[in-house]
Structure 1
């Protein structure tokens, strides 16, 4: 049984953007990147650099934070397909969910070009390659 999603933090990421931390939820995940997924190379520039600074900890070694699909919203959070394909190999929460069979090997890029790592995605979206937020990101 999963616990109800609860917003535990909200940070501004510029005009009309924010990064929301949600705990709990169904544990679901996207099977393909959404129409403006930040992992999609063709969606570069859709989100401000501040959003990538706030979310960088999802790509730290042994992180317990999962990069969620922004289209799913905070009431029905789901893990982002792009993240599962290119940013979650060192994420503790994702590794445990895979071991338990809660995340399967059924996620596809759908033929889309995705950024190869969180660091590459953040830099492409305006975060300096020397920004402290990227120091602990695993590629």
Structure 2
């Protein structure tokens, strides 16, 4: 496991009190095993984050994306991939596929913790105020069941 810190490559404002941060590299990042209390993938946490945050992160659910959706509670110092994302938004994500093959991700250890999750990134973004016709959502892949 590398001890090097990741490099912040982008910080994008997403409302008055929120931002979306892109971190590249650093130590091997484990994943969360359950969605945290304010996880945006949890239906009961809808409205916790502004629509702009979902617009900034949409590319994590694009076909063959090399970006992952990280847990906001883990922070930049110890970034971890979001459990909700692994359960609902990572089916078509290249980084997750490669990480699973290499043993970085153990998807059998991830559960919803008994919480209802949005069916897909698109469904989550729309529930949080992104227009269903917003072009940023057009490349988002559907969940395993084909829903939004």
**TM-score, normalising length: structure 2:** 0.92
Displacement of 1:27: 1.9
- Report runs of 4+ in structure 1 exceeding 4 Å deviation: none
Gaps of 5+ in 1: none
The alpha-carbon deviation at position 4 of structure 1 amounts to: 2.2
Do structure 1's residue 119 and structure 2's residue 122 form an aligned pair? yes
1:102, distance to aligned residue in structure 2 (A) = 1.1
CA distance in 2, matches of 1:132, 1:84: 24
- The equivalences for 1:1-139 within 5 A come to 1-2=1-2, 3-25=4-26, 26-104=28-106, 105-139=108-142
User: Normalised by the size of structure 1, how large is the TM-score?
Assistant: 0.97
CA distance in 2, matches of 1:35, 1:112: 10
Deviation at 1:75, TM superposition (A): 1.1
RMSD between aligned alpha carbons? 0.8
Q: Distance in 2 between matches of 1:28 and 1:138?
A: 24
Q: What is the alpha-carbon distance in structure 1 between the residues aligned to residue 13 and residue 103 of structure 2?
A: 34
Deviations 1:68-113 (A, max 9, x none): 0000111110000000000001000000000111111210001100
Specify every segment of 5 or more residues in structure 2 that has no aligned partner in the other structure, as ranges: 143-148
